[in-house]
Amino acid sequence: MTLDMKTPEYWDDKGLDKELRRVFDICHGCRRCFNLCPSFDELFKAIDAKGEDVANLERKDLRLTEDLCYQCKLCYNHCPYTPPHRFAIDFPRLMLRGKLIHVSKEGIPLRDRLMADTDALGKMGVATAPLANLGNHNPAQRWVMEKTLRIHREAPLPDFARQSFSAWFKSRKRIAAPDAANGKVALFYTCFVNYYDPEVAKAAVRVLERSKVEVVVPEQRCCGMPYMDSGDLQSARRNAEANLKVLAPLAEQGIPIVAPGPTCSLTLKQEYPHLTDSPEAKLVAKNTFDLSEYLMKLHKEGKLDTTFARGAGKVNYHAPCHLRAQNIGYKSRDLMQLLPDTTVNVVERCSGHDGTWGMKEQYFKLSLQVGKPLFDGMREGAPDAVVSDCPLACMQIAHATGRRPVHPIQVFAAAYALPDAKP
């Protein structure tokens, strides 16, 4: 049973214990998710070791299951007992409830506080990009980070861009006003793209404008998911409310909100209504699209420019967990398959990075084990391009294979042979 965060029952320790055992008993009888993630693996091992009776589980067993959940959310769509089934199981939300209750009693570790404040880190990193990037690759500094913050010394860290996307967009000079024959979109560019990979958002702008869609870029904060991952509900809600204040008026005007990052589109669609329970959150959720989802909508309406200069060849495409959790199909695959001379092989495996989970000292090696089937799949067949919508999965894939994937929108922009488009 999913409880409202605002009710006292949600925060009750005994109530949490009772609900964990109820859900774990049902999971024990089903075991459909046995191979999805380490959380289920350790849960079933603990149950089997203790007489196959959930009642025998100790508190440490329950806690380990919670700690190993990195909120990929794949189990929700995989589960046959989600609402409106009478069992009403929502495993990711139950794990989040456990995280929030523990944090309310134990506090948030310094590492998690620092890593969750992505806007502060991003602004500081972009301002000092050359030095910051050198430091992040320096073995001595990484050793210090591991000892003080418990960020694994071998975990890949992203390089800061020398200019954020938001700064680029504000300073961008157009020869003429954009043709808005096919309307406008509001680009929720995501904090990762803004501070680390602005070429993704630049490609999105160029592709949308080619199809006569005007792009507006409202002021925005991080979606708040990193705060939720750390258990900082107050900060997550604060960011959600700030973004809703800007995005809801645009949605009221009928302007779609598009995001190139799966985690951010998922957060706007599914988490904001839970965080704020406001009409504005429901309105924004209804009008939010993953970038490829929106472009395929344009294509269905006959508005997407399909005059391509070249294809992409053989593409190995990683379907990110947070896109699969949205139940929208494989829109990025469908988008790339519009290109001439292009075949797309979809690899449906988790990268194991999952927010900041895979960077942490205690989980980094495990994250690579989780991601191994994906890494093998991305190498298979010597593809011309490796592609993923998820920037954190891209880091993990690059670390394991030596080849960094690009975003589907960059493949699409390159097919147009647009100026500055990078395949």
The rounded percent of the chain whose pLDDT value lies above 90 is 89
pLDDT per position as a tens digit, 336-366: 999 999 999 999 999 999 888 889 999 999 9
> How would you classify the pairing of strands 214-216 and 184-187?
parallel
Q: Residue 418 pLDDT > 90, yes or no?
A: no
Distance CA 280, CA 287 (A): 11
15-29, 164-178, 369-383, 403-417: which range is least confident on average?
164-178
Q: Which two tokens stand for residue 156?
A: 């890949």
- What are the pLDDT digits (tens) for 277-315? 899 999 999 999 999 999 999 999 999 999 999 999 999
Residues 6+ apart with CB under 8 A from 51: none
The answer to whether the CB of 156 falls within 8 A of the CB of 84 is no
Determine the Cα–Cα distance for residues 395 and 391; give it in Å rounded to an integer.
6
pLDDT band of residue 92 (cuts 50, 70, 90) is very high
Residue 174 above 70 pLDDT? no
pLDDT confidence of residue 180: 84
pLDDT over 80 (residue 83): yes
Predicted model pTM: 0.93
- State yes or no: pLDDT of 235 exceeds 60: yes
Closest CA to 406 of 382, 387, 379, 380: 387
- Asked if residue 176 has pLDDT above 70, the reply is no
Kindly indicate the confidence band of residue 261, based on its pLDDT and cuts at 50, 70 and 90.
Answer: very high
Fold of 308-416: Rossmann fold (3.40.50)
Please check whether residue 332 is in contact with residue 202, taking contact to mean a CB–CB distance below 8 angstroms: no
What distances in angstroms separate CA 397 from CA 39, 61, 224, one per listed residue?
22, 31, 24
Tell me the domain boundaries of the chain: 8-106, 308-416
Are 266 and 73 a contacting pair, CB within 8 Å? yes
pLDDT in tens, 243-253: 999 999 999 99
400 with 365: CB under 8 angstroms?
A: no
Q: Is the peptide bond before 320 cis (omega within 30 degrees of 0)?
A: no
What was the pLDDT predicted at 6?
Answer: 80
Residue 264 near residue 225, CB atoms below 8 Å: yes
What is the per-residue DSSP string for 3-58? PPTTSGGGG-HHHHHHHHHHHHHHHHHH-TTTTT-HHHHHHHHHHHHTTT-GGG--
Question: Residue 59 in 3-state DSSP?
Answer: helix
Mean pLDDT score of the chain:
93
Residue 388 neighbours by CB distance under 10 Å:
28
- For residues 329-342, average pLDDT: 97
CA distances from 137 to 140, 141, 153, 156 (A): 9, 8, 9, 9
- Examine the pLDDT at 1 and tell me if it is beyond 90: no
